Amino acid sequence: MSETKGSFKGYLGITMLIGFGFLTMGLMDPLYDTYIPIFLRRYISSNAAIGGVMTLDNILQLFLIPVIAVWSDRTRTRLGRRMPFIIVMLPIAGILFAFIPLSAATSFWALIILLFVFNIFKTSVRGPVVALMPDIIPGVFRSEANGVINMMGAFGLIGGTLVLAPMMNKDEKLPFLISAFCIFAAVAVLLLFVREKNPETETEESVPILASIKQAFSGHNASVPRILISLFFWFMAYEGLKPFLGLYMVDALKVSEGYAALAQGVAGIAGAALAIPTGYLAHKLGRRNYIRRSLFILTIVLCLIPLCGPAANLLGLTGTSAVLIFFLALMFIYGAVWIGVVVNSFPMLWQMATFGTMGIYTGLYYTFSQSAAILAPPITGLVIDLAGYSGIFIFGAVCMLIAFFVMGGVTAGEPESKGV
């Protein structure tokens, strides 16, 4: 398929509509990542064990996302190839999400069983939601488009962390219930206003799974495997930190549970503000260069977080409130820089795909990112048990630095590269 000439402005409206699918993920993910560990703490005390339970969704994503994404590649319906999965699985996930606090108040096993079923549906719909955008937006504009939909996801994250999460202090069921209603509204928007391309009009046929994977790992001067290895390491850092930021806020910085998601909220504000600019900047500077610069800055930021306490003391400030201010400032920078990695990495892979293999490349992304997400939380939980919370930030910095060096060998995936 040839690239479409012109401006991204012509695709802005449809991109924002597609972004409602990401908004639902932005609502659910921070509430899940922040409060599931807190719910689990009521029944188990080991951080390593909590980290192990938090890998449940990642284990399911490792297997389900590639399978469902490829299945959607081959689906042919009047609604398209992605939408049937979205309109069935996403509302069910919303209903189950609303019942999480009730299951947490019932028993440990009620919580575990509900989380397992919820993650089956939430995980299964992620691949089709993500693959919907590159199906519709030409490759040359996908960094900009990915910036828009990640901004929508960031708006969901902000709403979940700064608006809904404080309601936990009054009624822990309310944030989850409101999220479920928002999910139904988002599905209605997608169904009413987003029209997929008709796969029957595309000249490319679906490529066999094994053949497409072999092609991905044998061409493009090894750029595909290098991107995948890089994202494995940067997600080792990100996923290792994410489930413990809420506990860090409560245990180390002594905030109430209602404000345990504040760090993710601050990072989300930064991400929302810079999601679109990072797409445009990467288009001008090059996606690989922008990602590498972002990874280097993230390494520095993570190294500085354990120094928040000494920095406060050096300035004559005392108490956890001073450390909290320094920490949130660094989390703002973290979110502003991290969004550049997220926005531009997917478009690099999609640029090397075809219409018939879009879901497979999406699946490869999640295979490597979720492998990291499975391994990281138990490791960082163990690090906390052995060395305290400071250790997880150093662990994250090392992983970001490794990703920086591996990414240096990538030579494909830029906007002007051949793609769809």
Q: CA 134, CA 318: separation in Å to the nearest integer?
A: 50
Q: What is the pLDDT of residues 63-110, one digit of tens each?
A: 787 778 778 877 788 888 888 899 999 999 999 999 999 999 999 999
Domain 9-197+209-407 is in which class?
Answer: mainly alpha
Q: Where are the domains of the chain?
A: 9-197+209-407
Q: 145-154, 183-192, 198-207: which range is least confident on average?
A: 198-207
CB–CB of 414/286 below 8 Å?
yes
Q: CA 417, CA 347: separation in Å to the nearest integer?
A: 11
pLDDT given for residue 353 in this prediction: 74
Query: Which whole number is the average pLDDT over 149-158?
Result: 84
Q: What is the pLDDT of residues 166-187, one digit of tens each?
A: 888 888 999 999 999 999 999 9
Q: What is the pLDDT of residues 317-352, one digit of tens each?
A: 666 677 888 889 999 999 999 999 988 988 888 888
pLDDT given for residue 251 in this prediction: 85
Expressed in percent and rounded to 5, the helix, strand and coil fractions of the chain are 80, 0, 20
pLDDT given for residue 226 in this prediction: 92
CB–CB of 346/224 below 8 Å?
no
Helical ranges in 42-99 per DSSP H: 47-54, 56-73, 83-98
Q: How far is CA 345 from the centre of its chain?
A: 12
Does this model's pTM top 0.85? My answer is no
Check whether 354 has a pLDDT greater than 80: no
Q: CA 87, CA 121: separation in Å to the nearest integer?
A: 11
- pLDDT tier at 118 (50, 70, 90 boundaries)? very high
